Structure formats: structure tokens, C-alpha cells
Amino acid sequence: MAGHSKWANIQHRKGRQDAARSKLFSKLSKEITVAAKMGDPDPDKNPRLRLAVKEAKSNSVPKDVIDRAIKKSQVGDGDDYEEIRYEGYGPGGVAVIVEAMTDNRNRTASNVRSTFSKHGGNLGETGSVGFMFERKGEITYPASVGDEDSVMMAAIEAGAEDVESDEESHVIYCTDTDLNEVSTALESTLGESEHTKLVWKPTTTTELDLEGVQKLMRLIEVLEDDDDVQRVTANLELTDEVAAQLDA
């Protein structure tokens, strides 16, 4: 899945360059609040909250913002968010999963459906593309932490399933239920990760030409700009040729 890793890297770089910090902070804070509300407000006793806080810190969210998000979860009259997953097809038949947190299901569904329609895609029923993905834990380290063999050995010892390495990063995968345990074990050997999160990892991928990729990227950008949308995943397989054109 090297092509998919290349696509993920391009998305990640673009996200760091383009995403408005305030919007990114808001989405990460929302995840912290929901995680704390669903469990214990102490990250050491709540694996989901610990991961949410870790991801927030990796994106330079200030400590006071994180603390406020946790405190917000303990306020009785605070916002009541619902987690929803939407599935559909983007340009060229690429499978797309949209994860959202909303306090108004009708508003979010309408916005997501409209965005798909306006950008060459169509929203499907739940399960329409989910079978093409697996829920996994994903831990990302920069290439500088070590060579592929040493990182693979550390990952195996930590209980991970797979590692995808390239010139920029090492992406380590594990079962979704083991993410907290594996990421903690890796910290002792490789140090702090760049990102630690749950993802939808494609088991089947689709290739597009440059025009198709650009259309898909526009769809994803508009979806991610929606305040209710937390993250968007696509099963695009990016060829070396198209990747070079995007980087040009």
C-alpha cells in the first residue's frame, strides 16, 4: 500500500500548511471533550482521552486549551455531541468515510450530502464502503528515529501488526483495541510519536489520474472545512506519476 502511504503523506503535509489553526484546535478540543464525557476525565484512567490529548499535543494545542476541553465535559449543560459516520463515493469511484461529531444530525447530514453532490460524488448508506476498510490504530514517527529494520523490530516487540516506511516517516499499525498499549510501549523505545490515532485503513484501493485526484482533494477539503466533520478517509492509491505531478 505504498501508494496509499504516499497519498496520506501529501494529505498530512497539505493539512499542516492549509488548515486554520483555530479550526483544527476546535476539532481536537471537541474530541477531548467527548472522550472525557464518555469516560473518566483523568487521561491516565481513560485510554480514549489519553490518545485525544496526545494527538492534540502533537498538533501544538496549548495546555490551557486541553484543560478547558476536559473541564467542559464535566459541565452538566454542556454541548451534547453525537458521533456519526457517513460513507459514500467520491470522483472516480473512490470510497470515502466521513467521521463527524454533531449536536444537530439533520444539519450535518444535509451538509455532507450536499458537499458530495457538488463535488462529483454521492453519499451512500452506512456500510456501503465500510467493507473496504479496517479499523486500525496508527502511530507515526519521523524517518529520523531509525532505519526500517530497527523500527520494525521495535513495533513487533510492542505488539504492532505492520509498519510502512518511506523516506519521510514510519507508520506503524496495530489493532484498534491495542492502540493505547502499543503506543505506550513504543514511547519507551522510540520516544514520542508525531501522531497516534484510530484510522480507517483501506484494504482495497482505487487509482485516479491527476484530474481525478485534484477533484477528490477538493471534495475532502470542503468536507474537512465543515465544523462538524472530524476527519475524512479515502481509499485512493496514488501512483508515483501522479504524486510527482502533485508535488511539482
Q: Cell numbers at residue 85, please?
A: 459516520
At residue 76, φ and ψ (nearest 5 deg) are -60, -35
Say if residue 18 is in the same domain as residue 125. no
The C-alpha atoms of residue 88 and residue 96 are separated, in whole angstroms, by 5
Percent with pLDDT over 90 in the chain: 71
Say if residue 56 is in the same domain as residue 90. no
AA letter at 158: A
Q: Do β-strands 162-165 and 169-175 pair in parallel, antiparallel, or remain unpaired?
A: antiparallel
Say if residue 208 is in the same domain as residue 197. no
* CATH number of the domain to which 12 belongs: 1.10.10.200
Say if residue 39 is in the same domain as residue 148. no
Q: What range defines the domain where residue 10 resides?
A: 2-72
- Number of separate domains in the chain: 3
The C-alpha atoms of residue 164 and residue 54 are separated, in whole angstroms, by 21
Q: Is residue 49 part of a domain?
A: yes
Say if residue 181 is in the same domain as residue 193. yes
Confidence of residue 243 (pLDDT cuts 50, 70, 90): confident
Contact 177, 163 (CB under 8 A): no
Q: Is residue 170 part of a domain?
A: yes
Span 201-242, pLDDT tens digits: 999 999 999 999 999 999 999 999 999 999 999 999 988 888
pLDDT at 185: 95
Say if residue 208 is in the same domain as residue 122. yes
Contact 58, 16 (CB under 8 A): no
Say if residue 103 is in the same domain as residue 224. yes
Q: Is residue 77 part of a domain?
A: no
Span 117-159, pLDDT tens digits: 999 999 999 899 999 999 999 999 999 999 999 999 999 999 9
Say if residue 141 is in the same domain as residue 197. yes
Span 177-199, pLDDT tens digits: 999 999 999 999 999 999 999 99
The C-alpha atoms of residue 17 and residue 6 are separated, in whole angstroms, by 17
| DSSP track, the chain | -HHHHHHHHHHHHHHHHHS-HHHHHHHHHHHHHHHHHHS-SSGGG-HHHHHHHHHHHHTT--HHHHHHHHHHTT-TTS---EEEEEEEE-GGG-EEEEEEEES-HHHHHHHHHHHHHHTT-EE--TTTTGGGEEEEEEEEEEGGG--HHHHHHHHHHHT--EEEE-SSEEEEEEEGGGHHHHHHHHHHHH-S-SEEEEEEEESS-EE--HHHHHHHHHHHHHHHTSTTEEEEEE-EE--HHHHHHHH-
- Around Cβ 147, how many Cβ atoms within 10 Å? 10
Say if residue 126 is in the same domain as residue 210. yes
Q: Is residue 238 part of a domain?
A: yes
Q: Do β-strands 236-237 and 206-207 pair in parallel, antiparallel, or remain unpaired?
A: parallel
Q: Is residue 160 part of a domain?
A: yes
Q: Residue 113 pLDDT more than 90?
A: yes
Q: Is residue 198 part of a domain?
A: yes
Say if residue 107 is in the same domain as residue 228. yes
Say if residue 198 is in the same domain as residue 208. no
Q: Is residue 95 part of a domain?
A: yes
pTM for the model stands at 0.86
Q: Is residue 154 part of a domain?
A: yes
* CATH number of the domain to which 126 belongs: 3.30.70.980
Say if residue 196 is in the same domain as residue 211. no
